[in-house]
Amino acid sequence: MVKVDGYEVPEGLYYSTEWFWVKIENGKARMGLTDYAQKQLREIVFVELPGTGGTVKANEPFGSVESVKAVSDLVAPLSGTIEQSNPEVTSKPETLNEDPYGKGWLLLIAPNNLNAELSALMDFNKSVEWHKSLIAKG
């Protein structure tokens, strides 16, 4: 784990420019919001997620997150079939603020085109550089 100006960027994950992280687990993809995203949103008060069995498509909205600051679309980093939605974040949205890389995950999917879509995401090193450029722009 590296901190870039106070924002956590864990190793071993893939990252999208839509503020998502992806962890590959036995051919499945667990995903959630990055630390940077949850800190920018501040206090998260509502999360809307699709149900199990639905599908998500890379680079398309699949749900929303509402904070005291704004309502934002959740944009999928990968395409696939939803195997699990995290009920904890819908019943306790603050979990996204408290533990974005652990208990605050959003979806577990069976990806449709994992290798091709992963190649479009950032690895750890690229993500660290991207976070630095975001912070430099301020």
- The answer to whether position 59 is within a domain reads yes
Q: Is the residue at 96 inside a domain? A: yes
Residue at 132 is within a domain: no
Q: Are 89 and 106 in contact (CB under 8 A)?
A: yes
Structure tokens at 79: 């395409």
* C-alpha 32, offset from chain centre: 3
Domain count, the chain: 1
Residues spanned by the domain of 91: 2-124
Report if residue 138 sits inside a domain: no
CATH of the domain at 99: 2.40.50.100
133 occurs within a structural domain:
no
pLDDT digits (tens, 9 = 90+) for 1-47: 899 999 999 999 999 999 999 999 999 999 999 999 999 999 999 99
Mean pLDDT of 98-109: 98
